[in-house]
Amino acid sequence: MTDLDPIQWLSAFAALAEDNAELLTELDAAIGDADHGSNIHRGTAAVVAALTETAPGGPAETLKQAGMVLIRTIGGASGPLYGTFFLRFAAAVDSDSLDAATFAKAFRAGVDGIVARGKPETGDKTMYDALAPAVQAFDERLGEGADFAESLDAALRAAEAGRDATILMPARKGRASYLGERSVGHQDPGATSATLLVRAAREVLR
């Protein structure tokens, strides 16, 4: 497979969100509101339901619809952030298929959208700590001549490393930041769900 099917990607993300809902909730219980797992599960399930009910025309329309559903159905900060990611991603898709080059451009646009909305920086202990290295690794591998799947492999490894690095970080954003140094030692739930997003793309492209 040389192109990524956006509906399969969103469906895979929803399946991973369901499988990992308990883990995400446990992680969030330590440093947040204990609702990240249920929120991500509910939002991604609503996306799949919406796409099943009304099949959109192409990748851009599909991902735009996903972004709007996530904003409506996910509570807290995660809804606007994930919603913005997909809306910006969709706006950067200018073809009828998600090939590697289009994905690279749109992936970066989505992450830039998260920055514009949430103002995260590397080391803040947020989803950005997984997504920023993932998009960088994807671009680097693609630029070296790797194919789509190989570039996603690199992106996933980078996301996982970024996720794991949040364990030793004190939180500087969101509710977890209220804990200060007490947030050290806990893996960030947002970085964890963001890694699932990258994993879903890689699984679909296998």
pLDDT digits (tens, 9 = 90+) for 87-123: 999 999 998 999 999 999 999 999 999 999 999 889 8
Among candidate residues 40, 168, 117, 17, the one with its CA nearest the CA of residue 109:
117
Residue spans of the domains in the chain: they are 6-204
Q: pLDDT digit string (tens) for 53-73?
A: 987 789 999 999 999 999 999
**Interior CA angle at 191 toward 174 and 125, to 5°?**
45
Which pTM was predicted? 0.94
Q: Report d(CA 16, CA 38) in Å as an integer.
A: 12
Identify the residue whose tokens are 């929120």. 39
Q: What are phi and psi of 4, to 5 degrees?
A: -100, 125
**Measured CA distances, 185 to 21, 73, 104 (Å):** 20, 30, 32
Fold for the domain defined by 6-204: 1.25.40
